Structure 1
Amino acid sequence: MRRAATALAVLAAFSSQAEEAMETLTVTADLRQMSLERLPSSATVLDAQQLEDGAAEHFEQALERIPNLNWSGGSSRPRYFQIRGVGEQEEYQGAPNSSVGFIVDDIDLSGIGMAASLYDLQQVEVLRGPQGTRYGANALAGLIYLKSQDPTEAFEAGTELTLGQDNQRTLGAFASGAATGEGDLLYRVAVQQHQQDGFRHNAYLDRDDTNARDETTVRAKLRWLPSDYFQADLTFLHANLDNGYDVWTLDNNGFTTQTDEPGVDSQRTNGASLVLDWQVSDAVVAKSITSWANTHARHAYDGDWANGDYWAGLECKEYDDDWNEIGSGPCQYDYFWDKRSQRDTLSQEVRFASAEAGRLFAGTTDWLVGLYYNKLEEHNDLESYYNGYPDQFLISDYQAKSLAAFAQLDSQLGRWDLSAGVRVERRDAEYQDDSGEAFDPAETMWGGHLSAAYALHANHNAYLRLARGYKAGGFNMGLPPVLGEEQEFSSETLYNYELGLKSRWLDGALRSDLALFYMDRQDQQVEASLQDPNNPQRFFLYTNNAGASENYGLEWELAWQATQGLELYSSLGLLKARYKSYQLTEADGSVTDLSGRELAHAPSYQYTLGGTYRSAQGWFANLNLNGKDGFYYSDSHDAQSEDYQVLNAKLGYEAQSWGLYLWGRNLTDEQYGVRGFYFGNEPDQDWAEKLYVRHGDPRQLGITFNYHFM
């Protein structure tokens, strides 16, 4: 991987200058909306053309190109992410507390990131490292930001149809233009409907759709421009993912299931954001961001991963009331788990910043101040059934309110760009459920950053960044006596030290972004679980604090516009994430020392090698290879995934107003794990612990046709 990237740079140094340099990418999630090449931080931006060239339809198919970004496959679409080894792997209880921010058009969907269709998207942005000044507690590890296309003054419209294996049928359409003759009111509407079977055959029910994806996404934007000094952007999002969930098997065969009660993984989100920009005076500009989202979600699964006929054909031990073995007989095992939730999120941000006449210190320094308020409410209704009888029933309500103030100074002193920011946040949370448990933690936290960038040359910018991130503490519900001291856990603090070099050669045709980082995590929050020895279908899920851990590595992205029609690109993420000190309590009360062990879902390397070719005659080709090292599935056990590589390709022909493409994902049909559990789930084996793996999507071929109306 390193040799390939180095060879690419050497070839670029001796090549002729590309006829067209790559366009400048702007990081819209940053407070200053700086260009990627000037941003003093490690970030990846994938624009609309890059997403389309790679045949990506959902964020799931684009994230493999982003260095040091991983995801946990315990849902029908990626919902839980890890940046540099930091982030959640699951959330089965009712107190969300995200480490990775996930925002779509300023609508906060952190922890519920399944609503991530890429149709009519302008760009995907991933900011790595704590965003303590900009986003606070929900961006300890970093931020994922999806921005859809803006309205246009001139009318345009388009449609796209995709047919593929796995009975895939995807249809999308958009329209954009001016709603009034004066051009002061612009609109854009995009709709996409996606269906496929989900790559599973349920042999017991003789069905191919028990893991189906049925997803509808609607985005609508209005832009009002009443004057040169004011702009209002109203965005509406509707996402309805009515997906099945049937991915687990007892024999880990991958794609043939045996369940008699297939699960559900659905999410229906309605959200809106209103962004107001206005110039208050020659010295001050202002921005207001109002965001609202309502989400109804259901996550349910067949927990025995089989059916009554299967279990009845096996022999199980039988016990009396005192757990003395009295013989054996046909197994009886039937378990179904079902959680329905409703989440409402409301946020308001107001900030004021300097215009040209308002700069400080002889015009060298820009300033910015702001206030932020967020209210999250979640209602959860959990029920489960074991062998035909009610097992667990719990109704809970959770509420968290956050109020933050933040400020930032940015100075330009010759070749130096200096930046300093701070954020102070007050968070109050309340939880109660019908079992009688109640918690109301409250705390004040702070974060921020210091950065210094130096222009080594007109096309080479080096930077040094120090950032402090934070994440709120919390509580654990329904713990057994062995975990009695784990009922509450402390807030986490993360210090990120980063050194980077961003270079542009050949009038921007060759781009290199390199970052080295070291992350010092103090009081790291760790997700853990214990299987109930008396009720093996149940688990105690809890969070506790490790003494400390460290994550360090690098991110390197290289792109070369070799000729007008040929672009080559690569990315590399290296990561070492390990505990400095962590003691894990086991079910029998013993303690396991995990000090020095690697963190879960933190692969030591990730890479991409790819290229896109467009001829003057309209022919198109893209080929990309993505690879990832194996990683621990959990902090509660030592089971690991295997390393893997996925090869994708797209070929086609592009005319002025239409395009026709053949594409293939995972062309070598690599079988790889995206989530693993290690526990006892087979009563005929006396509940012996075993690894169960959920696999990623197999090979898929398809065809796409799009048409653009001008």
Structure 2
Amino acid sequence: MFTLKPESVLSLAILAALSPAALAQTATLTETLPEEKMEVMVVTADFRATSIEDVPASLSVLDRQRLLDDGGQNFQDVLNAIPNMNWSGGSSRARYFQIRGVGDQEEYQGAPNSSVGFFIDDIDLSGLGMASNLFDIEQVEVLRGPQSTLFGGNALAGAIYLKSAEPTAVTEAGAELTLGTDALWSAGAYASGALNADETLLGRVSVSSHKEDGFMDNAYLGRDDTNARDELSAKAKLRWYATDALQLDFTLLQGNFDNGYDAWSLDSNGDTTYSDRPGVDTQDTTAAGLKVTWQANDNWSLESRTSFADTKQRQAYDGDWANPEYWDKLSCYGAPCVYDYWWDKTADRQNFTQELRLLSSQAGRIFAGTTDWLFGGYYNRLSEGNALQIEQRYSPDPLDVSNLNSDYNATKLAGFAQLDTYLGQWHYSAGVRFEHWQSDYQDDSKQADNRFSPSENLWGGHVSVSYQFESDQMLYAKVSRGYKSGGFNMDLPVALSQYRNFDSETLYNYELGHSGSWFDGALASRVSVFYMDRQDQQVDASVQIPNSGDFRLYTANASSSTNYGLEAEATWYLSSNLELYGSLGLLKAKYDQYSYDDGYGGLVDLSGRELAHAPNYNYQLGGTWHSDTGWFANLNLTGMDAFYYSDSNDSVSNDYRLVNARLGYQTPSWSVYLWGRNLTDEAYGVRGFFFGNEPNLGWASQQQYIRYGDPRQLGISFRYDYL
């Protein structure tokens, strides 16, 4: 059963209070609402742009106004508002996401193979979440549950889709400047407009820079910037109406992220580190996408989507979390301790995708004009070269330096189809995707089996039925099947050789939901319940080799697990000035059967235990006020239940609540805001390990180490828009 904190009960009560029965006396308020308040959001991540009220699936959309009101600068700042979404803080920014308890916690080993898809303007950046700057983003869409028909194996748990603002025929321009604590300095600018007289060629450019020293102080080095962020993002978009039937959309993305990664300490104090070699977390991404839309005739259109992303990454960290002087003061087996560990991995990834879609138009519907159809083909090639260097010393002897270089190539070929039938108030949808996955991996290790060439044939899809019983009320039921290809683990010791390979997994998702709006759009709500059955679930496992500091992470398979829960969201415009909103996620995710041999004589049985990074609840409550005289205020509270940090031990986080506020003055052209995030300075863990990292304790493995999320930050923002 779900265990709810008092504030979670409160969020349920408020969501209930936003129901039509409770608000029956408020219908007259909608007469004062401005027209723009009642606009229905359109979901763009699907095959066809669709009103959110008509999508038979569980999803969340944060539109441009909500993003501006919140003031978050990175997707990491707003993801707690998404029901049943979590993330793992194994990097300087949120990069590894979990939806409904399904997702990845890290990518220290193995080939890239995300469970949660991450896309910016149709460009696949899964596993590269550092590129999620929110400046000039039109809306954020999060689709929960398998999205196999649409995205294939990259979206077993769901997908995150960031849509940037489109080019406009009308000239627009703007700039924003933010200053804050921790030496925060952030600036952005955009411009958009027609590039020729007949407005057939439109363009838009935006650039943003984010710099801050970070919230960790390195006491050993006497520095306050070893966990700094230095991020630069730029986008350029062109739209060309070549003819009345042909449209071309070109997107260019550039991201350069040069962040520090000095986030861990042996005492897990949350604000001070003692390392002598601060880590780094860098990413340099250049990506381009071209979408061609051709309306061949009145019956059908052709879409071509081409994208390429080139990414260079480096992640390095001081694995002993201290310094020579610290260890020298401690005793290890009757002598001063010697411990030095440095982990350094670089990756060079190229990802090319080509997709073709044939879509029916209104006049091209089949079966007596009742059914839209879509057929498509997909090709993807991902190549990644890795270079891993580990330096370690446990005695006065010189450093032991080991290197592992590897190359990985994977090709996916897929075909997909979808039919959508409309009979009166009923909508039936069925989609299927068949995918052939082939890969090749080789490294320069001395192990005999240092090359793998696995391949698989996989399939997924969905069937759904929805009923529009009022013009603005919809009920739906959906069954979907997701899949994720198998893979392999690199450079495992002999004792773990049985885990060199892991199998593909499948997920069946069963879902019921309702979406609706009342009072001419003043109130909108969505609610869904789901049940998920996972087979051969891929698990991020870990083990510490006895009597040493060697801690290994690898991927294994559990027999089965079950996830079920609820997602609810509501927005209510009480008047033309005041908006209230809330969201709630409830989740129970547990292993049905999972026991394994750790390779060193230990049997671990997690059957019946909850999955890692799968909190029982998360929620948001918020309100926004726009006065007629220009004053503005936003206040929101997010909360999350405790969760297991790992699938290999019982280390648990604390539950937490974050309070954010934003107060300002707005005119049609300029605005100024005072803001604060995590106002109560809550200490909350986002990643945890449970192992032995202290030789003076004999590498005792019963130690918990925690990486904390961002503490309180205060600032001021200025914005100017030329419209």
* TM-score where L is the length of structure 1: 0.97
Secondary structure at the counterpart of residue 145 of structure 1: strand
CA–CA distance in structure 1, aligned partners of residues 556 and 128 of structure 2: 23
Q: Is 2:110–2:489's contact at 8 Å kept on the other side of the alignment?
A: no
CA–CA distance in structure 2, aligned partners of residues 354 and 101 of structure 1: 26
Greater displacement, 357-366 / 539-548: 539-548
Tell me the amino acid that sits aligned with residue 539 of structure 2.
V
Q: Which runs of 5+ in 2 are unaligned?
A: 1-10
Q: Does residue 433 of the first structure (1) align with residue 439 of the second (2)?
A: no
Name which of 257, 274, 277 aligns with 2:273. Answer: 257
Name which of 12, 18, 38 aligns with 2:54. Answer: 38
CA–CA distance in structure 2, aligned partners of residues 294 and 481 of structure 1: 35
How far the C-alpha of 1:516 sits from its partner, in A, is: 0.3
How big is each residue's C-alpha offset from its partner over 1:163-190, in whole Å with a ceiling of 9 and x where there is no partner? 0001000010000001111111100000
Name which of 435, 453, 464 aligns with 2:477. Answer: 464
CA–CA distance in structure 2, aligned partners of residues 234 and 12 of structure 1: 46
Tell me the amino acid that sits aligned with residue 354 of structure 1.
S
After superposition, the Cα gap between the structure-2 partners of 1:282 and 1:8, relative to the gap in structure 1 and judged at 3 Å, is closer
How far the C-alpha of 1:540 sits from its partner, in A, is: 2.6
CA–CA distance in structure 2, aligned partners of residues 525 and 201 of structure 1: 37
How far the C-alpha of 1:542 sits from its partner, in A, is: 1.8
How far the C-alpha of 1:315 sits from its partner, in A, is: 1.0
- Equivalent residue, structure 1, for 2:170: 154
- Equivalent residue, structure 1, for 2:691: 679
Secondary structure at the counterpart of residue 114 of structure 1: helix
How big is each residue's C-alpha offset from its partner over 1:561-613, in whole Å with a ceiling of 9 and x where there is no partner? 11011110000000000000001322523222111000000000000000000
Q: Is 1:283–1:358's contact at 8 Å kept on the other side of the alignment?
A: yes
Alignment length, in residue pairs?
Answer: 699
CA–CA distance in structure 1, aligned partners of residues 254 and 23 of structure 2: 45
Q: Which runs of 5+ in 1 are unaligned?
A: 318-327
Q: Does residue 133 of the first structure (1) align with residue 146 of the second (2)?
A: no
Tell me the amino acid that sits aligned with residue 248 of structure 1.
W
- Equivalent residue, structure 2, for 1:51: 67
Tell me the amino acid that sits aligned with residue 122 of structure 1.
E
CA–CA distance in structure 2, aligned partners of residues 527 and 558 of structure 1: 34
- Equivalent residue, structure 2, for 1:663: 675
Tell me the amino acid that sits aligned with residue 695 of structure 2.
P
CA–CA distance in structure 2, aligned partners of residues 91 and 392 of structure 1: 19
Q: Is 1:476–1:488's contact at 8 Å kept on the other side of the alignment?
A: yes
- Equivalent residue, structure 2, for 1:323: none
Name which of 515, 531, 535 aligns with 1:518. Answer: 531
Q: Does residue 359 of the first structure (1) align with residue 375 of the second (2)?
A: no
Name which of 429, 445, 450 aligns with 1:419. Answer: 429
CA–CA distance in structure 2, aligned partners of residues 83 and 452 of structure 1: 23
Alignment of 1:401-420 (within 5 A): 401-420=411-430
- Equivalent residue, structure 2, for 1:277: 293
Tell me the amino acid that sits aligned with residue 150 of structure 2.
R
User: Considering only aligned residues, what root-mean-square deviation do their CA atoms show, in Å?
Assistant: 1.0
Tell me the amino acid that sits aligned with residue 400 of structure 1.
A
How far the C-alpha of 1:346 sits from its partner, in A, is: 0.1
Alignment of 1:192-207 (within 5 A): 192-207=208-223
Q: Does residue 337 of the first structure (1) align with residue 343 of the second (2)?
A: yes
- Equivalent residue, structure 1, for 2:514: 501
How big is each residue's C-alpha offset from its partner over 1:249-292, in whole Å with a ceiling of 9 and x where there is no partner? 11111011111100000101000000011101111111000010
CA–CA distance in structure 1, aligned partners of residues 227 and 134 of structure 2: 21
CA–CA distance in structure 1, aligned partners of residues 696 and 325 of structure 2: 14
Secondary structure at the counterpart of residue 287 of structure 2: strand
Q: Is 1:94–1:398's contact at 8 Å kept on the other side of the alignment?
A: no
Sequence identity (%):
57
CA–CA distance in structure 1, aligned partners of residues 290 and 548 of structure 2: 49
Tell me the amino acid that sits aligned with residue 256 of structure 1.
T
- Equivalent residue, structure 2, for 1:400: 410
Q: Is 1:12–1:560's contact at 8 Å kept on the other side of the alignment?
A: no
Q: Is 2:231–2:258's contact at 8 Å kept on the other side of the alignment?
A: yes
How far the C-alpha of 1:483 sits from its partner, in A, is: 2.4
- Equivalent residue, structure 2, for 1:287: 303
Name which of 72, 83, 88 aligns with 1:67. Answer: 83
Q: Does residue 297 of the first structure (1) align with residue 316 of the second (2)?
A: no
CA–CA distance in structure 2, aligned partners of residues 210 and 482 of structure 1: 37
Name which of 596, 605, 624 aligns with 2:608. Answer: 596
How big is each residue's C-alpha offset from its partner over 1:27-75, in whole Å with a ceiling of 9 and x where there is no partner? 1110122111100000001011101101110000010110011000010
Q: Does residue 14 of the first structure (1) align with residue 12 of the second (2)?
A: no
Name which of 446, 463, 471 aligns with 1:450. Answer: 463
CA–CA distance in structure 2, aligned partners of residues 205 and 587 of structure 1: 39
Q: Is 2:517–2:525's contact at 8 Å kept on the other side of the alignment?
A: yes
CA–CA distance in structure 1, aligned partners of residues 297 and 331 of structure 2: 80
Secondary structure at the counterpart of residue 53 of structure 1: helix
CA–CA distance in structure 2, aligned partners of residues 575 and 40 of structure 1: 20
After superposition, the Cα gap between the structure-2 partners of 1:311 and 1:529, relative to the gap in structure 1 and judged at 3 Å, is same
Q: Is 2:496–2:598's contact at 8 Å kept on the other side of the alignment?
A: no
Greater displacement, 492-501 / 684-693: 684-693
Q: Is 1:553–1:573's contact at 8 Å kept on the other side of the alignment?
A: yes
- Equivalent residue, structure 2, for 1:544: 556
Secondary structure at the counterpart of residue 150 of structure 2: coil
CA–CA distance in structure 2, aligned partners of residues 549 and 509 of structure 1: 40
CA–CA distance in structure 2, aligned partners of residues 591 and 244 of structure 1: 38
Q: Is 2:110–2:490's contact at 8 Å kept on the other side of the alignment?
A: no
How big is each residue's C-alpha offset from its partner over 1:176-209, in whole Å with a ceiling of 9 and x where there is no partner? 0011111111000000011001101111111110
Secondary structure at the counterpart of residue 199 of structure 1: coil
How far the C-alpha of 1:392 sits from its partner, in A, is: 2.8
Secondary structure at the counterpart of residue 23 of structure 2: helix
CA–CA distance in structure 1, aligned partners of residues 165 and 77 of structure 2: 19
- Equivalent residue, structure 1, for 2:283: 267
How far the C-alpha of 1:22 sits from its partner, in A, is: 2.6
Name which of 616, 621, 628 aligns with 1:616. Answer: 628
CA–CA distance in structure 2, aligned partners of residues 212 and 252 of structure 1: 19
CA–CA distance in structure 2, aligned partners of residues 157 and 247 of structure 1: 38
CA–CA distance in structure 2, aligned partners of residues 298 and 484 of structure 1: 27
* TM-score where L is the length of structure 2: 0.96
- Equivalent residue, structure 1, for 2:585: 573
Tell me the amino acid that sits aligned with residue 698 of structure 2.
D
Q: Does residue 606 of the first structure (1) align with residue 618 of the second (2)?
A: yes
Q: Does residue 692 of the first structure (1) align with residue 698 of the second (2)?
A: no
Name which of 680, 701, 704 aligns with 2:717. Answer: 704
Alignment of 1:230-249 (within 5 A): 230-249=246-265
How far the C-alpha of 1:228 sits from its partner, in A, is: 1.8
CA–CA distance in structure 1, aligned partners of residues 62 and 269 of structure 2: 35
Tell me the amino acid that sits aligned with residue 418 of structure 1.
Y
How far the C-alpha of 1:11 sits from its partner, in A, is: 5.1
- Equivalent residue, structure 1, for 2:7: none
How far the C-alpha of 1:535 sits from its partner, in A, is: 4.1
